[in-house]
A and B are shown apart, each in its own frame.
Chain A
Amino acid sequence: GAVVSQHPSWVICKSGTSVKIECRSLDFQATTMFWYRQFPKQSLMLMATSNEGSKATYEQGVEKDKFLINHASLTLSTLTVTSAHPEDSSFYICSASGTGRETQYFGPGTRLLVL
């Protein structure tokens, strides 16, 4: 149990376009979802925390107008990178936790390359 999926796993886009990444909890209701960004050979950087039906809480330094997060249901959260630029290229990872679940379960990640 506790499987989290992400789609797509890979995306290449042109500079200036927007990219949407989906994060789904497949077998549990995720009351809270987290979005992380990971740079090569570095740790995960928490970008934002989202609770179902509420606005996301962004970490300091993360542009909320650039990284739009929607958590419309208990099984789905989306991250939209708006007007992507090459410096947005990274590995984006979501995680989810449910009521009574202490552990966060991570998705496999989405690698974004902006040309």
Chain B
Amino acid sequence: GNSVTQMEGPVTLSEEAFLTINCTYTATGYPSLFWYVQYPGEGLQLLLKATKADDKGSNKGFEATYRKETTSFHLEKGSVQVSDSAVYFCALRGSGNQFYFGTGTSLTVIP
């Protein structure tokens, strides 16, 4: 079956620190992988995606590379800002267009 495992939070970082949020997946076939971000009181917004192995998704300084050999899609950012404080969800899209979400990782960036 399909599933996504994310590192548990919460994560607290100082501004300009390096961020890594781990995500691994289990899937049948070749899923597309996504990172969504949810700011307080809001719905989910697509942050980045990758549709095939070795693809790198990037947006707003965040990056994630689709690693088929390790079934991973870790999210990274070189220098976080206070405005990056949010909950981050890793997800995969299965063959039936259904999304499977990780449990989310809460990030707090302090000045």
Instruction: Judge whether A46 and B98 touch: CB under 8 Å.
Output: yes
Which residues of chain B are within 8 angstroms of A46 by Cβ–Cβ distance? 98-99
B32 contacts A44, CB within 8 Å? no
Given contacts A102-B32, A106-B36, A109-B42, contact A32 B104 (CB under 8 A): no
Contact of B103 among A6, A43, A93, A102 (CB under 8 A): A43
Residues of B within 8 A of A34 (CB): 98-99
Instruction: Tell me whether chain A's interface is mostly helix, strand or loop, or mixed.
Output: strand
8 Å CB interface, A30-64 against B: 32, 34, 41-44, 46, 49
Quick check: is A105 within 8 A (CB to CB) of the other chain?
Answer: yes
**A93 contacts B43, C-beta separation under 8 Å:** yes
Interface size range of chain B in the complex: 20 to 34
Tell whether A104 pairs with B103 under 8 Å between CB atoms, given A43-B89, A44-B89. no
A/B interface sample: 8 pairs, CB < 8 A = A34-B98, A43-B103, A46-B99, A49-B98, A93-B43, A95-B44, A103-B46, A109-B42
A residues at B contact (CB < 8 Å): 6, 32, 34, 41-44, 46, 49, 93, 95, 97, 102-109
Besides A41-B104, A102-B97, A103-B93, 17 new A-B residue pairs in contact (Cβ under 8 A), listed by A number = A42-B104, A43-B89, A43-B103, A43-B104, A44-B44, A44-B89, A44-B101, A46-B98, A49-B98, A93-B44, A95-B44, A102-B32, A105-B46, A106-B43, A106-B45, A108-B43, A109-B43
